[in-house]
Each structure stands twice: as structure tokens, then as C-alpha cells.
């Protein structure tokens, strides 16, 4: 573990070196050589839409004065920079509109432009954006002041005053696996962990039965459990005397007569349709009846021959079980093979009786395989089939059966770790475990004050469950936090912090 952290520290040092200040032209500087006490305090803006995060620094907005704005646009889907173009920026108030000037793309995700508002009061700013063939619109409200002191006061109020806030620029966060989000509120009940066995879902398994009595013959060696089969494939031969089985002969004779009658009816309706004597509905019904009867007859004719029955796969999938081996005798109606189509699996778990009441309020499940792969509720399409009302004699546990959608990494016959979330009566804050950083046995999260400033906050963790954690105290539902990349903020803090201008475009 120490070696891991040492390696991570070396990688982070290289990351910090790669994020050194961007080389600016003179027009990109704001007189940093002057006394900082004379600098204008910028207006800090953070807004979110469904698709984007906007973080901007603007000179205070005053009527008839030009303010320069530096805007960072981030895709919320992956927290990477918006690499398209901003085609126009409009500042509107009622019927008055002002168009931004000198729109310049400094780097991917970073744009500079100028606003010269003509009226005081509340305005709407609309960004018209384009990325390849996709158009976007981003809107936010701004207050334009009539006097400079009033505008500076608004700018002052937008500043973050946390003394120990951790700085992390947008350019730095864009280079790593990074994300922020709000904690989720959930009425969490007890979380239940158990080991579950995976097996084919019985309702999906297709069983092939013997149509006649006879001996199973498998000349091509196809009857092995786990072998992949295709629908309609000949699996084996059931050798018997078809002529001695009157029920099969009767069934085949009836199927042939129904097919011949359906064919005659179809041809008759077809000719009447051409003369517009019958309706389209009558024609379609006759056509369907003909095809169904034809398929029934052809399947019987293919499957049953004078010296036996061809055993065909009724579904595509894998042979789950072989009940009668090659060379063995089977009675008519006896189950021969079972085919698992592989669409769903059955989870069978044994749960402690103390959770009996909670099992009626299952909210979600998660699976973890032996190689560490996670499967969340959304990907499992799960359904509780049954919850035992009494314990089993051999282990005094309650059996719980859950159907889940199959996946290439989930195999029948294997065991997985099952995590059941139940619904309770009290709401809890839920955060992903990737939001937590651990230090000397305590847990912390990084709360965002704006997209480049984060506060390290101690939180009390009630429970760790699956990929999430339940927070008892230290965090509020309306506080946005780092959900991915928190470990790099911790390393930045350990290295003595970062210059507030490192990697930042000014």
C-alpha cells in the first residue's frame, strides 16, 4: 500500500509539472506586475444546465462600461472541456438586446469576450454554442449596476472567503478523471449482504421431450452441457417405431389435413380479394392461418420419420442439462434435454431471519463478482421472485430468489456477492465512495465553493455499502462536492497546495 501511494505521489508530481502556467500574450494579462491591492475584484459566476457547467470571471458589470469576461465551459457528461465554438452571446432585458463582442476561443473550453450593457437591472445572457453538428443554448441571469461602487459590491459578494480552501483550476481538473455532484437523498433502510448462487432462470429454460418411445442416438457427439446450440438445430436421434405410435400418426394426419384446408381457403380468399369481394382483414386472417398450419405440418414432418424422431433445439442458447444420455431408452413424454437461452439468471441467496421485515422493501441490488466486477440495479433489470416465509431446516436462513438479466461476466453455477438496499423511513445522504478521502481513520470530502475552490470537510460515515457511503453528518444536500478525483486534491494539499494561478488562463 505504501508503494502504491509513493507511485501515486510521483505521478501526481508529474501532473503538477504538466499544469504549469499557460504562456500568455500581453493582451491575456491583467497587469499582474502591479500592486494586487489595486486590482479590480472580479465577479465570479457559476451556473449549471443539464449539459454544461459554466464558471466565469467578469469585470464588474456597469452601464455603458465594457467588461471583459473569461468563461470556462465543461461537459457534465465527462467533465471535459467544451471543444466547440460559441457563435453568439446575447445580453437581453425586455426588448433591449446587446451582443457580446470580441468572442475569442483561448483554449478548448475557455472563451473570452466583452459585454457593454446599456441598461441597469436584471438581464438574461444566452450563449449560442455549436459542437460539430450539435447546437446548444446556455442561459443565465445577470445584474447590471448603474454605478461602479454598486457593481464592485456585487463582485465582492461573489468571492469565496474560505481561508483554507484548496485551489484546483479547471485546466487541471480537465486532465484527470474528475467530477462533482450533489449528495443524493434516499430513505435507506438496513443494507443486507449475502452470497448468492447464479443459475438459469427456470421459466426461461426450454425442455425437449420425447415424442415417441425409443433409444437416444448422438452420432455427432452434441449432447454435452454448456454446448452452444441454435434454434432448429438437430441435436440427436430418437430411434423408435413411429408406425407403432398411433397418437403421433393421428397428430401428423390432422396437421396435414389442416394445412391442406388452410391452403385451399387462402387461395380462395386471395382470388376474391383480387375481385374486391372480401376485405383486407379477411385476406390477412386467411394468410396467417395458412402459414401457421404449414409451419406445424413441416415441423412434424421434419421431426418424425418412420424409424424415429429427430430431436431439434427449440431455442438458441446453451445445453443446460442432458437428462437421457446417448444409448439410453426414453419413454414418450419423458424430458430429454434442457436449453438455457441465457437471457436471464436466477439469484438464490440465504438471508438472516432478522431482516425478514426489511426484505419486503427492497429498493435496489448490486452484484460483485469474484474478480471485482460491479453490477448496479440499472443494468440488472432485476425482479424479486420469492421471499421465504420460513427458515430452511439445514441452515435456519430465509431463501430469497431474484431474477436478473444475463451478462457475459455472470455465469450460471458461480457465486457472487449480493448487496441489497432496503427502503427505510428516514432519509439519509448518500455519496459515492470515490468522494471520500481517508486520513488517520477519519473521512473527508471536498465541498465545492466554486469550480476552482474546494473546502476539505470532515464527515461522519454511518456505513459503507457497495460503491456508496451513507453520511451521518458534516454535509448538506445542497452542497456540491468532488465525486471523482478527490485523491488528487488530497495529494495537492499534502504537497503544500497549488498556486491559484497555476495552469490558469488570465
Note whether 342 and 198 are within 8 A (CB). Answer: no
Name beta bridge partners: 376: none
Note whether 136 and 51 are within 8 A (CB). Answer: yes
Would you list the domain boundaries of the chain?
A: 42-158, 181-199+344-484
Neighbours of 420 (CB within 10 A): 26
Note whether 347 and 404 are within 8 A (CB). Answer: yes
* pLDDT tens across the length of the chain (506 residues): 444 444 444 444 444 444 443 333 344 444 344 444 456 799 999 999 999 999 999 999 999 999 999 999 999 999 999 999 999 999 999 888 899 999 999 999 999 999 999 999 999 999 999 998 899 999 999 999 999 999 999 999 988 776 778 899 999 999 999 999 999 998 878 889 999 999 999 888 999 888 778 888 888 888 888 899 999 888 887 876 544 445 555 666 677 788 788 888 888 888 888 888 888 888 888 888 888 888 776 666 666 665 677 788 888 998 989 998 988 888 878 999 999 998 899 999 999 999 988 898 898 899 999 888 888 888 898 999 999 888 877 778 899 999 999 888 898 889 999 999 888 878 889 999 999 999 999 999 999 999 999 999 999 998 887 788 999 999 999 999 999 999 998 887 877 655 544 445 55
Going along 76-152, which residue ranges are E strands? 85-93, 96-99, 101-107, 110-115, 121-131, 134-144
What's the grid cell of residue 361?
A: 422493501
| The CATH classification of domain 42-158, taken from the options 1.10.357.10, 2.60.40.1930, 3.90.1150.10, 3.50.50.60 | 2.60.40.1930
Round to whole Å and give the CA distance between 296 and 210.
17
pTM of the model: 0.62
CATH fold, domain 181-199+344-484, is Elongation Factor Tu (Ef-tu); domain 3 (2.40.30)
Round to whole Å and give the CA distance between 377 and 467.
12
Neighbours of 174 (CB within 10 A): 21
Region of residue 276 (left: phi > 0; alpha: psi -120 to 50; beta: else): left
Region of residue 435 (left: phi > 0; alpha: psi -120 to 50; beta: else): alpha
Amino acid at each position: 500500500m505504501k508503494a502504491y501511494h509513493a507511485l501515486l505521489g510521483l505521478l501526481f508530481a508529474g501532473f503538477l509539472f504538466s499544469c504549469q502556467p499557460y504562456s500568455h500574450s500581453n493582451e491575456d494579462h491583467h497587469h499582474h506586475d502591479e500592486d494586487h491591492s489595486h486590482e479590480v475584484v472580479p465577479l465570479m459566476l457559476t451556473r449549471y444546465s443539464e449539459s454544461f457547467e459554466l464558471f466565469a470571471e467578469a469585470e464588474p458589470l456597469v452601464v455603458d462600461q465594457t467588461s471583459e469576461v473569461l468563461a470556462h465551459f465543461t461537459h457534465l457528461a465527462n467533465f471535459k472541456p467544451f471543444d466547440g465554438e460559441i457563435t453568439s452571446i446575447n445580453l437581453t432585458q425586455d426588448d433591449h438586446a446587446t451582443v457580446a463582442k470580441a468572442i475569442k476561443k483561448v483554449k478548448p473550453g475557455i472563451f473570452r469576450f466583452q459585454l457593454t450593457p446599456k441598461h441597469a437591472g436584471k438581464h438574461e445572457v444566452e450563449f449560442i454554442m455549436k459542437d460539430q453538428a450539435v447546437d446548444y443554448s446556455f442561459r443565465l441571469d445577470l445584474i447590471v449596476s448603474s454605478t461602479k461602487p454598486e457593481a464592485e459590491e456585487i463582485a465582492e459578494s461573489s468571492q469565496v472567503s474560505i481561508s483554507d480552501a484548496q485551489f484546483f483550476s479547471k485546466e487541471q481538473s480537465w486532465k484527470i478523471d474528475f467530477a462533482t455532484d450533489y449528495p443524493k437523498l434516499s430513505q435507506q433502510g438496513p443494507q443486507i449482504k449475502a452470497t448468492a448462487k447464479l443459475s438459469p432462470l427456470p421459466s426461461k429454460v426450454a425442455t425437449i421431450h420425447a415424442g415417441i418411445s425409443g433409444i437416444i442416438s448422438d452420432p455427432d457427439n452434441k449432447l454435452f452441457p454448456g454446448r452452444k446450440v441454435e434454434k432448429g438445430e438437430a441435436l440427436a436421434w430418437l430411434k423408435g417405431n413411429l408406425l407403432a405410435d398411433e397418437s403421433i400418426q393421428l397428430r401428423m394426419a390432422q396437421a396435414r389435413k389442416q394445412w391442406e384446408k388452410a391452403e385451399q381457403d387462402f387461395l380462395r380468399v386471395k382470388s376474391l380479394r383480387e375481385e374486391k369481394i372480401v376485405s383486407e382483414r379477411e385476406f390477412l386472417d386467411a394468410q396467417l392461418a395458412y402459414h401457421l398450419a404449414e409451419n406445424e405440418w413441416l415441423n412434424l414432418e421434419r421431426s418424425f420419420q418412420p424409424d424415429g424422431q429427430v430431436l431439434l433445439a427449440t431455442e438458441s442458447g446453451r445445453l443446460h442439462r442432458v437428462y437421457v444420455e446417448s444409448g439410453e431408452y426414453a419413454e414418450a413424454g419423458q424430458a430429454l434435454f434442457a436449453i438455457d437461452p441465457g437471457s436471464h439468471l436466477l439469484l438464490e441467496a440465504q438471508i438472516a431471519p432478522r431482516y425478514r421485515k426489511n426484505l419486503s422493501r427492497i429498493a435496489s441490488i448490486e452484484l460483485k463478482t469474484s474478480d471485482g466486477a460491479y453490477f448496479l440495479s440499472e443494468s440488472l433489470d432485476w425482479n424479486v421472485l420469492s421471499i421465504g416465509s420460513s427458515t430452511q431446516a439445514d441452515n435456519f436462513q430465509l431463501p430469497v430468489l431474484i431474477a436478473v438479466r444475463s451478462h457475459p461476466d455472470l455465469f450460471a453455477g458461480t457465486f457472487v456477492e449480493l448487496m441489497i438496499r432496503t427502503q427505510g423511513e428516514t432519509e439519509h445522504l448518500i455519496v459515492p465512495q470515490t468522494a471520500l478521502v481517508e486520513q488517520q481513520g477519519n473521512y473527508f470530502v471536498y465541498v465545492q465553493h466554486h469550480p476552482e475552490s474546494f473546502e476539505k470537510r470532515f464527515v461522519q460515515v454511518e456505513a459503507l455499502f457497495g460503491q456508496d457511503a451513507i453520511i451521518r453528518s458534516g454535509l448538506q444536500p445542497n452542497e456540491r462536492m468532488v465525486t471523482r478525483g478527490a485523491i488528487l486534491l488530497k495529494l495537492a494539499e499534502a504537497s503544500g497546495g497549488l498556486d491559484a494561478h497555476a495552469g490558469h488562463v488570465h
